[in-house]
Amino acid sequence: MAVSQPGPKLKRSANGEGLEISVILPPTFATGIERGKVMVAFEGKWSRGRVPLSALPMNQSFALSPEDARLLDRAEELAGNETPGGLMLNLVELTQLFDALAGHPRVALGRNPPLTVSATAWRVPVEATLETSGEIRLNLPENLQPPTLIAGE
């Protein structure tokens, strides 16, 4: 069985041209989560504009911030060791990508303002009441709008 070679990979160098990576999640993100697959796009902003990462010249070196380097490491790992312009991810892969997106400054839902990806676990605001029968009743606040939760490994 032939083993396929990885595709092109972005060159990195501290002395390379500055590059900022943006991650664009689809406006239908919640629907994608329900279906178990989400398309994620990766773009790079450099001196010649903003393009899909895979459209950048792979023979040129680029300088990345620590956040972008961490993101690119994970994206390339998920893409089979090549620089992706986009990836269709299952939910386990998406949570792996989100680990690298925690605190990243350029994550958006479509072309909307940036989102915040947090590595902090969400604490459910449960209210506990001791009933006269001795039972403990657990309630969620009435107006609670929970965040979108994605099951990982």
Which pair of structure tokens corresponds to residue 150?
Answer: 């994605």
Name every residue whose Cβ is closer than 8 Å to that of residue 28 and which is 6 or more positions away in sequence.
Answer: none
- For the chain, the helix, strand and coil percentages under 3-state DSSP, each to the nearest 5: 20, 30, 45
- What is the pLDDT tens value at each position of the chain, 153 positions in all? 444 566 789 999 999 999 999 999 999 998 998 899 999 999 999 999 999 999 999 999 999 999 999 999 999 999 999 999 999 999 999 999 999 999 899 999 998 888 888 777 777 788 889 999 999 999 888 887 766 666 555
CA-based torsion, 33, 38, 42, 43: positive or negative? negative
The pair of three-digit structure tokens given for residue 108, joined into one six-digit string: 């958006």
Note the pTM of the prediction, 2 decimals.
0.79
Domain map of the chain by residue range? 11-109
